[in-house]
Amino acid sequence: MKLVFAGTPEVAVPALDALIASGRHEVAAVVTRPDAPAGRGRRLVASPVAERAAEAGIEVLKPVKPRDEEFLARLREIGPDCCPVVAYGALLPRVALDVPAHGWVNLHFSLLPAWRGAAPVQHAVMAGDEITGASTFLIEEGLDSGPVYGTVTEEVRPTDTSGDLLTRLAFAGSGLLLATMDGIEDGTLKAVPQPADGVTLAPKISVENAHVDWSAPGLRVDRVVRGCTPAPGAWTVFRGERLKLVHAAPVPERTDLAPGELSVAKNNVYVGTGSYAVELLWVQAQGKKPMRAADWARGVRISSGEALGV
């Protein structure tokens, strides 16, 4: 088939690579979000998908909105059979959805109908899911509600951050997306409507959602830290300034600390929760680079009885 691929961040690149390398389908163009300011200089930078497409000599389309008439005219001119999508980042209007004969097929990083929305992997980790996966489905105007072509499952490991899990799903999902394109092209694959039961929502995780509540059980604190890593980053307050929690680990055998209370040993930093303690392994103080928690604790000279979250 002739394809127009839509995607923006690094997590979409493995799927684009798989389609380019397939030899069976032609990636005629790529649709991605416009260049965005990045870094300290805030200079405009192309998305990872745009950069990969340019390396491969593929036309790159960067509409401000996918309903822009200039973009729609070019899309019709290309005449794709299907438009595979991975984390594009913009809502597609009906006028765009109607262009390809086989529609727009999204690779979504959950087992639909679970975790519909912008942050399925983060929510899966924060909810303590033991199994998650990826799904390919036909995009319609509802939120991730279209009929499903296929799924692949992935175990959520006890120490997984959302970044760890998303990386694995990006590669597993790339194979699923390619197999879905193959099945659509040869007529062996039909989309099946999602069940009405089991729908859960995964809205974008805000900075406030990533604020750690030390009165919560240690299990919950661990999941929030892992689910919000690398973005938006779990955080707390220490001496009136924000402290980012980069890496932590539960310590079930230690139950002697009050919620938020700090305990510092030579190479360990513990903090109390509503149940057992967690050990801080890596932190990032405001305006600083990430560092080992023990080094941070030595630098700030924590006093007995000091606490986080105050």
The tens place of each residue's pLDDT in the chain, 310 residues long, gives 999 999 999 999 999 999 999 999 999 999 999 999 887 788 899 999 999 999 999 999 999 999 999 999 999 999 999 999 999 999 999 999 999 999 999 999 999 999 999 999 999 999 999 999 999 999 998 899 999 999 999 999 999 999 999 999 999 999 999 999 999 999 999 999 999 999 999 999 999 999 999 999 999 999 999 999 999 999 999 999 999 999 999 999 999 999 999 999 989 999 999 999 999 999 999 999 999 999 999 999 999 889 999 7
Residue 145 labelled as part of a binding site: no
3-state SS string for the chain: CEEEEEECCHHHHHHHHHHHHCCCCEEEEEECCCCEEECCCCEEECCHHHHHHHHCCCEEECCCCCCCHHHHHHHHHHCCCEEEEECCCCCCCHHHHCCCCCCEEEEECCCCCCCECCCHHHHHHHHCCCEEEEEEEECCCCCCCCCEEEEEEEECCCCCCHHHHHHHHHHHHHHHHHHHHHHHHHCCCCCECCCCCCCCECCCCCCHHHECCCCCCHHHHHHHHHHCCCCCCEEEEECCEEEEEEEEEEECCCCCCCECEEEECCCCEEEECCCCEEEEEEEEECCCCCEEHHHHHHHHCCCCCCECCC
Report the side by side order of strands in the sheet with 2-7.
Answer: 59-61, 26-31, 2-7, 83-86, 104-108, 131-138, 148-155
Residue 120 labelled as part of a binding site: no
Which pLDDT score is estimated for 187?
96
Same fold, 2-186 and 207-300: no
Domain 2-186 matching CATH 3.40.50.170: the answer reads: yes
Give the domain ranges of the chain. 2-186, 207-300
Q: What is the CATH number of domain 207-300?
A: 3.10.25.10
Which pLDDT score is estimated for 258?
97
Residue 3 labelled as part of a binding site: no
Residue 110 labelled as part of a binding site: yes
Which pLDDT score is estimated for 148?
98
